Amino acid sequence: MADHIGLNEESIAFYHSKHKNSNFSASDFQDIVGQALKNLGNLSPSDDQWDTKENLWNNLYKNDSVESQINRIRTGQSSHETMSYLKKIKGYANIKK
């Protein structure tokens, strides 16, 4: 999944946050593009993925197996409300992904 997901009435956006000290490296750029390509399927999850995603989003953020105190849902809503909103807007005819 992307590092951040933005949802609004007009778009579903995946954001990838990476940092390396190299400048204009083709291999570093390829890492980002590769992650983005892997995430294309997550723009329209299959029916069996919704519960897994909701359970993940309900947990605190982990990095290298270290659990932080950072909620995965940053807007104050619950994972259930966020998942319901995502299901609603993904069906909009003019939604940008």
Where does the pLDDT of residue 1 fall: very low under 50, low under 70, confident under 90, or very high at 90 and above?
A: low
DSSP, collapsed to helix, strand or coil, labels residue 53 as helix
Of 26, 6, 24, nearest to 16 (Cα)?
6
Domain assignment present for residue 83? The answer is yes
Does residue 25 register a pLDDT over 70? yes
Number of domains the chain is built from:
1
Domain assignment present for residue 55? The answer is yes
Domain assignment present for residue 63? The answer is yes
CA distance 86 to 9: 10
Does residue 17 register a pLDDT over 60? yes
Is 44 or 97 the better-scoring residue by pLDDT?
Answer: 97
Where does the pLDDT of residue 11 fall: very low under 50, low under 70, confident under 90, or very high at 90 and above?
A: very high
Domain assignment present for residue 36? The answer is yes
Domain assignment present for residue 68? The answer is yes
Does residue 44 register a pLDDT over 70? yes
How confident is the model at residue 76, as a pLDDT?
65
Containing structural domain, residue 35: 4-90
Domain assignment present for residue 33? The answer is yes
Domain assignment present for residue 96? The answer is no
CB proximity list for 18: less than 8 A, separation 6 or greater:
3, 28, 31, 32, 35
